[in-house]
Amino acid sequence: MSLQPIREEIDRIDQELVTLFKKRMDCAKQVGEYKKTNGLSVLNEAREKEILDSAETAGGEYGHAARLLFSSIMELSRALQHDITGSGKALRTLLESADFNFDNQASGLKIACQGIEGANSHEAAITAFPNAKPVFFATWEDVFRAVQDEKADYGVLPVENSSAGSVSDVYDLLLKYRFFIAGALDLKIAHCLCALPQCTLSNIEQVWSHPQGLSQCSNYIAKNNLAAVPCSNTAVAAQLVAQEKRLNCAAICSEKAAQAYGLKVLLRNFQNSRDNCTRFIILSKKLFIPEAADKISLCFSLPHVTGSLYNVLCRFSCHGLNLTKIESRPMQDKPFEYLFYLDFSGNVRSPHVMNLMCALSEELPQFNFFGNYQEL
C-alpha cells in the first residue's frame, strides 16, 4: 500500500479546511463590525462555551482534539475582533503617549540603589548611568519609595541571576508601585571570599553575604561545612566583617567592596557558575519607549479554566513573537492562583504588537504592562 493516495486526500481536505477557515474569519469580521457599532464586548464566554462543547461532542473519538482546535480558532477570531473594535483604549493611550527620549548619559541625575558603596547594585547603577550620582538605600522598597517621592530620578535593582533565579520581591514591588522598566543591563558577577588581612582560608568558619550571594556560592559553602550568615547586601557583609574583626568570618562580596573596607581577597571567582550574571532593571515613574526598544515585560493572571495559558501563548506564536522568559508567582490572598511574568522581543509601536497588548488587557483578569525597553 502506498501513502501517496492518503496524502493526496489529506491535501484535498486541507484545502477545504483553509477555504472554510477563511469564510469563518470573514464572518468573525462581520461580528466584530457589529460589536463595534453596538458597543458590545468582544468576549462572549457563553457563546464560546457553546461552540467548544458542540465541537467536542461532534468530534467523537477526537473530541478533545476538536475542542483544542476550535479553542485556537476562537482565539484567532477574538483577536481579529479586538483589532476591529480598537480594544484596550486606556492601554493604547498610555503606550501612544510614551516618551521616546530616555537619556541614561545625562549629568546630575540621582540614581537610587540598595546597599552601600561597593555593592553590585552600586556597580550596576554607575554602569547604567555613568554621569549620575548613586544614592544608597537600605532596602529594595526604600529604592521604590525614593523614586516615588522624587528623591531619586530612577532606581536600579536586581531582578534575576543566571544561577540563583529571580529576585521575586522586586517583582512584587513592581506590582505594588506600578512603576515602569526604562532599561535593563546584565552585570557579570565575580564573587570574592574576603576576610581581615591577617586571615587565611583555614581560619574561616562563617561566610556572610546577601542571600543571593550565599546561594550563588552554595557549592563551596557546603563542601567546606561553613555556616552561612545572611546580610542585607554583599557590601554590607564586607563592612560588617571589617567592623567585627573576627578572624573566623569572611564576606562574599565584590573585589571593589573588599578594597573599600580594607579586606584581603582569599578566593576569586568561586561562585557555582563561572558565567554568573545578574540582570538589573531601571525603575521609572514615567513610561519611556525608545524607538529602538526591543524587549517587552508583562504580568498577567488567567481565568481558572483548562487551556487558558496555552491559548494566551498561542496568540504570541501566531504573531511570530519570541518569548524570552515566562515565570509564575503565587497571587497574594488567592491560594493556588498565579501571576505570570513574561518577557518577549518586540516593539509596541508595531501595530500587531500594540493590538495584541490591548486585546490581552481587555480579556485577562489582571494585566500589567511593565515596559518596552532596551538592554544597555
Rounded to two decimals, the pTM is: 0.85
Please give the Cα distance from 278 to 238 (Å, whole number).
19
Backbone angles phi, psi at 154, to 5 degrees: -145, 165
Instruction: For the domain covering 1-85, report its CATH number.
Output: 1.20.59.10
CA distance 90 to 95: 9
Which of 85, 129, 179, 278 is flagged as catalytic?
278
> Cα 185 from chain centroid?
13
Q: How far apart are the first and last CA of the chain?
A: 60
Per annotation, catalytic residue among 102, 137, 280, 316: 280
Cell of 311: 491559548
> Is 241 exposed, middle or buried, given 0-12, 13-18 or 19+ CB atoms closer than 10 A?
buried
**Residues in a beta bridge with 154:** 111
Domain spans, the chain: 1-85, 110-189+277-284, 192-268, 292-376
| CATH, domain range 192-268 | 3.40.190.10
Q: Examine domains 1-85 and 192-268 and report if their fold is the same.
A: no
* Residue among 351, 349, 357 nearest 299 (CA): 357
Give buried/exposed letters for 164-199 (b at 16+ CB in 10 A, else e). bebbeebbebbbebebbbbbbbebebebbbbbbeeb
Q: Give, for all 376 residues of the chain, the pLDDT tens digit.
A: 789 999 999 999 999 999 999 999 999 999 999 999 999 999 898 999 999 999 999 999 999 999 989 988 998 898 899 989 988 999 999 999 999 999 999 999 999 999 999 899 999 999 999 999 999 999 999 999 999 999 999 999 999 988 778 888 898 899 999 999 999 999 999 999 999 999 999 999 999 999 989 999 999 999 999 999 999 889 999 999 999 999 999 999 999 999 999 999 999 999 998 888 999 999 999 999 999 999 999 999 998 777 789 889 988 988 899 999 999 988 877 888 889 999 999 999 999 999 999 999 998 999 999 999 999 8
Q: What would the pLDDT profile of 5-28 be if each residue is shown by its tens digit?
A: 999 999 999 999 999 999 999 999
The yes-or-no answer on residue 280 being catalytic is yes
- DSSP conformational letter for 334: S
How far from 371 is each of 28, 64, 292, CA to CA, in Å? 32, 37, 13
Q: Which CATH superfamily is domain 292-376 in?
A: ACT domain (3.30.70.260)
Rounded to 5 degrees, φ, ψ at 323 are -80, 130
Q: Is 243 strand, coil or helix? A: helix
Nearest by Cα to 157 from 177, 141, 175:
141
CATH code matching the domain that covers 110-189+277-284, chosen among 3.40.50.12780, 3.40.30.10, 3.40.190.10, 3.40.50.10320: 3.40.190.10
Closest to 177 (Cα-Cα) out of 48, 68, 284, 59: 284
Tell me the C-alpha distance between 280 and 328, whole Å. Answer: 19
How far, CA to CA in Å, does 304 sit from each of 160, 253, 339, 375? 28, 44, 12, 34
CA distance 302 to 191: 39
Pairing between strand 323-330 and 264-268? unpaired
The C-alpha torsion from 42 through 294 and 369 to 80, rounded to 10°, is: 0
